[in-house]
C-alpha cells in the first residue's frame, strides 16, 4: 500500500514537466512568429533629393594673355647706350625719352653735311652772279649765246647740288633724333634687359610700353573640337580656385590650323581694369560649348568599386523604404558634387550618410 502513492507522485511529476515543456515550446514559437512578422529594424539614414541643375558643357585650356596695346621698343640705329632715364614698372607719357644712344658720331656726320651745304651755298651764289653777269653781257652783245647757256647750266647744277645737300642734311638730322628712344604712347614700362654701356643694334629689344586696358586671351583648341567653335561662345578666365576672373566671348577664330600642334587659335577680349592680369601671362581659360540639365549628387554619397561608381537610393517598398544600390555614369565635377549622366533621375532620394553600412535591399528610414 505504501508503494502506490510513490507511483502516483512520479506520474504527476512527469505530467508537470511535459506541461511546462509544452508551454515553453509554445512561447518560443510565438516569439519567432512575432520577430518574423516585424522584420529587421529600419536603419535611419540621411537623404538628399536629386534635382536637375543647369550644368555648363565646358572645356578648360591653358591660354596666354596678350595685349594689342603693347609696344616692343627697339632702336632704329646702332650704337652704345649712354643713359637710361626710366625704370621697369614706371608710368610714362607719350613722347617721353626712355634711353639715349651715343650720338657723337651722328652729330659729326650732321656737322660735316652742314659744312658741305655751306660750301655749296657759296658755290651757288657764285654761279648765280656769273649767270647774271653773262645775261648782261649777252644783252650788250659782248658774249655769245653759248657763254650764256654755259652760265645757266652751271647755275642749274649748283641748285641741284644744293637741293641734294639739303636733303642729306635733313636726313642726317632726322637720324640724329633716333638716338633718343621715346615712348610711342602713354603706358607702363616693362622689363629693361639692357644696361648703360651696352652695344646695341636695330635688332636689340630695349623694353616694352604697355597701355593699360583690355587684353586678349589666346586659346589653342584641338582640331577635334574645331567643328563646335563659333563666334560669341562664352569664355571665362579662371584663377587657381576655379573662380572666374573675367568673362568674355569668342571674337576671333583662325581660319587656319597650326601644322605643328594641330590646334585652332581662338581669341577673346578680356577687360583688365584692375590690372589683375599681365601681358604674356599663362592662365586657365574655359570655353563653354553649351548648357544642359542633369542631376548632381554629393561626392560623399558615391563609392567606387573596380572602376564603377555606385550610390544608394531610398526606394519605397511595402509602406517603407529600402536601400537600392545604383551604378552611376559620372560626368564632370561641379564643386563638391558629381554630375550624374545615368543611374539617378531627378526626384530620387539619394542616401548621403551611413552608406558604408548599407546592403542592397536593406530597410532604411529616410531622414531630412
- Residues 204-259 have pLDDT tens digits of 999 999 887 778 999 999 999 989 999 999 999 988 887 888 889 999 999 999 99
Does some domain include residue 24?
Answer: no
Does some domain include residue 108?
Answer: yes
- Do both 263 and 170 map to the same domain? no
Average pLDDT of the residues in 148-176 = 93
Average pLDDT of the residues in 87-108 = 93
Per the listing, cell 569668342 goes with 250
Q: Please report which confidence band the pLDDT of residue 57 belongs to, taking 50, 70 and 90 as the band edges.
A: confident
Does some domain include residue 325?
Answer: yes
- Do both 92 and 190 map to the same domain? yes
- Do both 227 and 279 map to the same domain? yes
- Do both 190 and 161 map to the same domain? no
Task: Give the per-residue pLDDT at 68.
Answer: 77
Residue 205 sits in a domain of what CATH number?
2.40.50.100
Task: Give the per-residue pLDDT at 188.
Answer: 87
Rounded percentage of the chain residues whose pLDDT exceeds 70: 88
Q: Please report which confidence band the pLDDT of residue 275 belongs to, taking 50, 70 and 90 as the band edges.
A: low
- Do both 80 and 204 map to the same domain? yes
* 195 alpha carbon, distance to own chain's centre: 33
Does some domain include residue 188?
Answer: yes
Does some domain include residue 233?
Answer: yes
Rounded percentage of the chain residues whose pLDDT exceeds 90: 53
Distance CA(342)–CA(291), nearest Å, equals: 17
pLDDT reading at 287 higher than 70: yes
What angle, rounded to 10 degrees, do the helices at 145-177 and 104-140 form?
160
Lowest mean pLDDT: which of 25-29, 106-110, 157-161, 280-284? 25-29
What is the domain count for the chain? 4
Q: Please report which confidence band the pLDDT of residue 306 belongs to, taking 50, 70 and 90 as the band edges.
A: confident
- Please state, rounded to an integer, the average pLDDT across all residues of the chain: 85
- Do both 196 and 95 map to the same domain? yes
Per the listing, cell 638716338 goes with 179
Residue 228 sits in a domain of what CATH number?
2.40.30.170
Does some domain include residue 354?
Answer: yes
- Do both 47 and 156 map to the same domain? no
**Other C-beta atoms lying within 10 Å of the C-beta of residue 159:** 14
pLDDT reading at 73 higher than 50: yes
Task: Give the per-residue pLDDT at 51.
Answer: 87
- Do both 96 and 184 map to the same domain? yes
- Do both 154 and 165 map to the same domain? yes
Q: Please report which confidence band the pLDDT of residue 312 belongs to, taking 50, 70 and 90 as the band edges.
A: very high
Does some domain include residue 17?
Answer: no
pLDDT reading at 121 higher than 90: yes
291, 323, 350: which is the final residue of a domain? Answer: 291
- Do both 202 and 246 map to the same domain? no
- Do both 108 and 97 map to the same domain? no
Distance CA(143)–CA(34), nearest Å, equals: 153
Residue span of the structural domain in which 157 resides: 103-178
250, 265, 291: which is the final residue of a domain? Answer: 291
272, 291, 310: which is the final residue of a domain? Answer: 291
Task: Give the per-residue pLDDT at 160.
Answer: 95
Does some domain include residue 317?
Answer: yes
Distance CA(81)–CA(197), nearest Å, equals: 5
Average pLDDT of the residues in 14-40 = 44
Average pLDDT of the residues in 24-51 = 62
pLDDT reading at 26 higher than 80: no
Average pLDDT of the residues in 303-329 = 91
Amino acid at each position: 500500500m505504501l508503494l502506490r502513492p510513490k507511483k502516483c507522485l512520479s506520474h504527476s511529476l512527469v505530467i508537470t514537466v511535459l506541461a511546462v515543456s509544452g508551454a515553453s515550446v509554445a512561447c518560443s514559437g510565438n516569439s519567432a512568429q512575432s520577430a518574423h512578422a516585424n522584420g529587421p529594424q529600419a536603419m535611419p539614414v540621411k537623404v538628399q533629393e536629386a534635382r536637375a541643375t543647369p550644368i555648363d558643357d565646358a572645356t578648360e585650356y591653358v591660354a596666354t594673355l596678350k595685349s594689342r596695346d603693347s609696344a616692343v621698343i627697339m632702336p632704329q640705329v646702332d650704337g652704345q647706350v649712354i643713359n637710361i632715364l626710366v625704370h621697369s614698372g614706371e608710368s610714362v607719357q607719350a613722347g617721353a625719352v626712355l634711353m639715349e644712344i651715343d650720338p657723337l658720331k651722328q652729330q659729326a656726320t650732321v656737322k660735316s653735311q652742314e659744312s658741305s651745304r655751306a660750301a655749296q651755298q657759296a658755290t651757288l651764289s657764285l654761279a648765280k652772279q656769273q649767270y647774271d653777269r653773262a645775261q648782261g653781257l649777252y644783252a650788250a652783245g659782248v658774249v655769245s649765246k653759248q657763254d650764256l647757256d654755259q652760265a645757266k647750266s652751271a647755275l642749274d647744277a649748283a641748285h641741284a647740288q644744293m637741293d641734294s645737300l639739303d636733303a642729306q642734311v635733313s636726313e642726317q638730322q632726322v637720324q640724329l633724333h633716333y638716338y633718343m628712344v621715346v615712348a610711342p604712347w602713354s603706358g607702363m614700362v616693362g622689363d629693361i634687359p639692357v644696361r648703360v654701356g651696352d652695344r646695341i643694334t636695330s635688332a636689340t629689344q630695349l623694353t616694352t610700353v604697355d597701355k593699360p586696358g583690355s587684353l586678349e586671351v589666346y586659346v589653342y583648341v584641338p582640331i577635334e573640337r574645331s567643328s563646335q567653335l563659333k563666334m560669341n561662345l562664352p569664355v571665362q578666365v579662371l584663377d587657381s580656385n576655379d573662380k572666374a576672373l573675367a568673362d568674355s566671348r569668342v571674337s576671333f577664330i583662325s581660319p587656319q590650323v597650326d601644322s605643328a600642334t594641330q590646334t585652332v587659335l581662338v581669341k577673346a577680349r578680356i577687360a583688365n581694369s584692375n590690372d589683375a592680369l599681365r601681358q604674356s601671362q599663362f592662365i586657365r581659360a574655359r570655353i563653354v560649348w553649351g548648357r544642359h540639365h542633369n542631376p548632381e549628387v554629393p561626392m560623399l554619397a558615391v563609392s567606387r568599386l573596380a572602376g564603377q561608381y555606385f550610390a544608394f537610393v531610398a526606394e519605397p517598398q511595402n509602406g517603407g523604404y529600402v536601400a537600392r544600390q545604383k551604378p552611376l555614369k559620372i560626368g564632370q565635377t561641379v564643386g563638391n558634387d558629381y554630375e550624374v549622366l545615368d543611374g539617378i533621375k531627378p526626384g530620387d532620394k539619394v542616401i548621403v550618410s551611413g552608406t558604408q553600412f548599407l546592403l542592397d535591399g536593406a530597410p532604411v528610414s529616410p531622414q531630412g
